[in-house]
Amino acid sequence: MNSAHLLEKLAAYVPAPAAQAIYRQPRPLTEPAARRFPAAVLFADISGFTPLSELLSRAGPTGAEELTYLINQYFTRMIRIIQNYHGQVVKFSGDALTVFFPADEIPIGVAVRRAGECGLAMQAEMGYFARTRTSQG
């Protein structure tokens, strides 16, 4: 497998800025590296996720599978919205997302607007999940 093909496969598992840096300079790092760039950052967290996970945990393995299914549906829908607004998911933390809207090639105001509009679109999409029924209610 050539290195370009390997980088393509690995890019699905690391934040886009990291994948782009590796692609630009594919040699192994021998020391820490950093890059600064202007960006708007969006943090999104599911309100009520802890009580939901506690409720489903009472159902044992079936509840864990159900929770996994629900969180996968949530992330799939939210990532689609994020991509529509040119955002890049850089971290998953349980039920939370950290999203960059880079402004190295666009004005920072545009990146901030995209982040705000994306957050509102994500919030609107949560109406779908508010109607979701689980095996525990």
Give per-residue pLDDT as tens, 17-41: 777 777 788 788 788 878 888 999 9
CATH number reported for the structural domain that contains residue 104 in this entry: 3.30.70.1230
Phi, then psi, of 70 in degrees rounded to 5: -65, -45
Cα separation, 130 vs 77, whole angstroms: 14
Please report, in tens digits, the pLDDT of each residue of the chain (137 residues total). 566 676 677 677 777 777 777 778 878 878 887 888 899 999 999 888 888 888 888 888 888 899 889 889 999 999 999 999 999 998 988 889 999 999 999 999 999 999 999 999 999 998 888 778 888 77
The answer on 57 and 7 residing in a single domain is no
Domain of 6?
1-35
The answer on 53 and 28 residing in a single domain is no
Cα separation, 122 vs 74, whole angstroms: 10
The answer on 52 and 98 residing in a single domain is yes
The neighbour count for residue 118, using CB atoms within 10 Å, is 23
Which positions ≥6 away from 102 have C-beta within 8 Å?
17, 37, 38, 39, 88, 111
The answer on 79 and 55 residing in a single domain is yes
